[in-house]
Amino acid sequence: MSNSVIRTSRVQAPSTLSAIDLCTVLALCLDVANSNPRDGLTNEQMSPYIDRVLRTPSNWMIYSTALLQRAWIEFERPHLAERSALQLQALLDQHTTRLTITQASVQSVEESAKVPERLAYIHSITYPPRWELKRDMAQRYAKLGVYGSAAEIFVELELWDEAVECYAAMQLEGAAEKIVRARLAEAETPQMRCALGDLTQDPQHYERAWRLSGGRLARAKTALGRYFFFKGDYETAVAHFQAAVAVKPLLPRAWFTLGAALMRLERWPEALAAFTRVVAQEPDDGEAWGNCGAIHLRAGEYERASAALAQALRQNRASWRMWDNQITALLHLERWDEAVYAMHRFLDLRDKHQQPPDTGALAILAQAASGVDGGSGGAAAAADVPLVKAVAELLGRVAASIKSDAQAWEVYAVFNERLARGADKVADCRAKQCRALLARSGWERNPEAIAQVADASEKLSAAYRAQGTPAALYQAKMHLKSCCSKVQAGRDAVECEGHLKLQALLAEVTAKPAA
């Protein structure tokens, strides 16, 4: 073999970098963050730079900056968020000589880095000031639900709005209101007046905040809009939301509630415009996409409705209402295969919503499938067409899960008849249709219900007679005799047309069983 072949390999230890080189590595790390969207992939790209700095510590401030960047990245991962918060707290405690949980002894304070070391590369890195780090720490505590610690820091930093929000989240409205009124006693500001409105639910405070801001505080009008929306005064709510978004258009939640209020008022074009604003600002808002789809559907714009609902279902696949609307749109567009898929997804969610499938939609699908041309092979060849097989599977699933729906059995029976899928299958569907009708309480005393039973029984008798066996004919006779007996026992509708029809069918089956 050639002498150039490498027989062994060694992993070389990383070379030691100077402090200024480590600052450069951190700068490259920040360049990745500044040049890419803030998502998981960007965090993964930043991690190697941080790990390289942490591997060869040379300066207290540089090392702390790397730890801070790593903690911020880890906070985005749910299973590391608490560890990240503890690391941030330790970095924060390094700026004080007080004893804390992460700085629990006098010795640890005395052994901390001296001022010259801390300031040596202060202009080469981006380490935040202590008060900015405390604010960041408080915000992260609030995200973790540690509102008490967050509120303490916000009060210390005199960030009153955030402190009030934390106390309100802890349901300590008294403490929050005390802060707000104290601030208002010193100087009345629109923000504090709004905060008082949030705590007291008095719309006068929002009106006052709006006037104090000179008509520039969108938060005041948004709060007024929500207040009147939940009161059911949609006209007033719309006016307030429109004022809010006129001042500050980038308010997706305000646009969404505005759209909802406009839908209540049936002002559909304006509602669509509002929800369009929402999806432009937040493309992942499935509810807004769903509302856009519903409005297009109402207007008969089925192509646009289907496209909007497809976007909605990408974000929220567990919404049975969206699947139901999508089924309607796809049926109008005659996209049968997609409609079958959507119907299956609707059925998957039935354990949650308990809503029966639309038998009208099932009938349209069954009619579309039964109209498929099997060519020279006839009905037998049509049965192998993918759409026919898919609809047959869907109808079988519906029938198995909703046994008490007579209309669903009617659709299944007609489907089997048109495709000549066997007299036994048709008779079975017709029998289950009649069974569902007979299971209704008090049908034998209701002329309309008796008429439905008579119509279904006529079709069942025809199916049994098509089988032509003595057993099938006997079943037809027994079914009709049982129906007549129950109507006669009910007494209230003996003379109705439905009962007369049942008697005529019974006489026909008895007299001419071999028809």
pLDDT along the chain (515 residues), means of 10: 42 70 90 81 87 86 90 89 89 70 56 74 86 93 92 92 92 91 90 92 94 94 96 96 96 97 97 97 96 96 97 94 95 95 91 81 90 53 75 88 86 88 88 90 88 92 86 89 87 80 88 56
Last residue of a domain, one of 127, 151, 176: 127
Q: Is residue 406 part of a domain?
A: yes
Query: Are residues 52 and 91 located together in one domain of the fold?
Result: yes
DSSP state of 3: T
Question: Rounded to an integer, what distance in angstroms lies between the CA atom of residue 283 and that of residue 273?
Answer: 15
Residue type, 323: W
Q: Which pLDDT does position 106 carry in this prediction?
A: 55
- Residue keyed to tokens 């007996």: 485
Q: Identify the pLDDT of residue 434.
A: 92
| Number of other CB atoms surrounding residue 291 within 10 Å | 25
CB 142 within 8 A of CB 150: yes
Which residues lie closer than 8 Å to 305 by C-beta, 6 or more apart? 293, 294, 296, 297, 325, 329
Is 402 a member of any domain?
A: yes
Q: 18 and 123 share a domain?
A: yes
AA identity, residue 249: P
Find where tokens 């069954």 sit. 366
d(CA 348, CA 394): 12
Together in a domain, 401 and 448: no
Q: Rounded distance, CA 126 to CA 117, Å?
A: 16
Cβ atoms 50, 28 nearer than 8 A: no
Which structural domain, as residue segments, surrounds residue 448? 443-515
**In this structure, are 416 and 460 located in the same domain?**
no
Residue 441, judged by CB atoms within 10 A of its CB (0-12, 13-18, 19+), counts as: exposed
Beta strands in 290-415 (DSSP E): none
Q: Hunting for tokens 């965090």 — which residue is that?
A: 43
**Distance between CA atoms of residues 214 and 185, nearest Å:** 20
Considering the domain architecture, whether residues 37 and 99 belong to the same structural domain is answered as yes
Confidence (pLDDT) at 110 = 57
Count of domains for the chain: 3
Q: Answer yes or no: pTM beyond 0.75.
A: yes
Crossing angle between the packed helical segments 497-511 and 470-490, to the nearest 10 degrees: 150
Answer with the one of 65, 100, 127 that is the final residue of a domain: 127
Domain shared by 454 and 390, yes or no:
no
Amino acid 243: pLDDT: 96
Phi and psi angles of residue 432, each rounded to the nearest 5 degrees, phi first? -70, -30
Residue 133 lies in a domain: no
Phi–psi pair at 274, nearest 5 degrees: -65, -45
Could you tell me if residue 199 is inside a domain?
Answer: no
Predicted pLDDT at 108: 58
Same domain, 469 and 400: no
Q: Running DSSP on this structure, what letter comes out for residue 113?
A: P
pLDDT of residue 9: 44
Domain assignment present for 117: yes
Does the residue 283 lie in any domain? no
Residue 122 sits in the same domain as residue 34: yes
Whether 65 and 103 map to the same domain: the answer is yes
Evaluate whether residue 48 is within a structural domain. yes
Query: Are residues 120 and 23 part of one domain?
Result: yes
* Residue that finishes a domain, picked among 65, 98, 127: 127
Q: Is 132 among the domain residues? A: no
Q: Do 112 and 20 have their domain in common?
A: yes
Whether 374 and 473 map to the same domain: the answer is no
